[in-house]
Structure 1
């Protein structure tokens, strides 16, 4: 039987053997940064449209890009949840 102390020490040894990379260096990190930029751009365009400094077509373009980014993020999340549920259903 594995005790919590054994599991913790095994985890520490594993992380020392292969330290995790920062998220920013991975493709997932780059995708998250792109998503954040698309949302920030849509926010700025919406604020600009309300104040009259942004043209309507720029607002629509920013909102469409944000919508596509959100759809992609939701699709990725759904696939991750589906894979996790599939792992949970596996017999041990």
Structure 2
């Protein structure tokens, strides 16, 4: 097998389109609003699945998946909140 020095850059160039965003991001306000809406909708879906599982109308596997997804969403929101608070505190410590 012959390996050329130009194979690696070609591979990176070929992979780059898969890593770039396909659409232009919205402004920050719309992004945060969409994230909050998706977060709330996910929690409502998990709650509905949990209620259905309590009365025997939902698959236990679906309940576990819903709970795992909601746990991940809550951890992400908590981490994001912590980072925002940390950034705010850092800004407040800056001398004027």
Q: Decide: shared fold, TM above 0.5.
A: yes
Are 2:40 and 1:33 equivalent residues in the alignment?
A: no
Which has the higher relative contact order, 1 or 2, with Cα contacts under 8 A spaced 6 or more apart? 1
Q: 2:50 aligns with which of 46, 49, 52?
A: 46
TM-score, length basis structure 2: 0.68
Q: 1:37 and 1:66 mapped to 2: Cα distance?
A: 10
Larger radius of gyration: 2
TM-score, length basis structure 1: 0.71
List gaps (5 residues or longer) in structure 1. 1-20
| Residues 35-90 of structure 1: CA deviation (Å, up to 9, x unaligned) | 10111111001100101101101101111110010011001100100000001100
Matched pairs, number: 69
Are 2:84 and 1:76 equivalent residues in the alignment?
A: no
Q: 2:89 aligns with which of 69, 85, 90?
A: 85
Q: Which residue of 2 aligns with 1:55?
A: 59
Give the structure with the larger helix fraction: 1
| Displacement over 3 Å in runs of 4+ | none
List gaps (5 residues or longer) in structure 2. 1-26
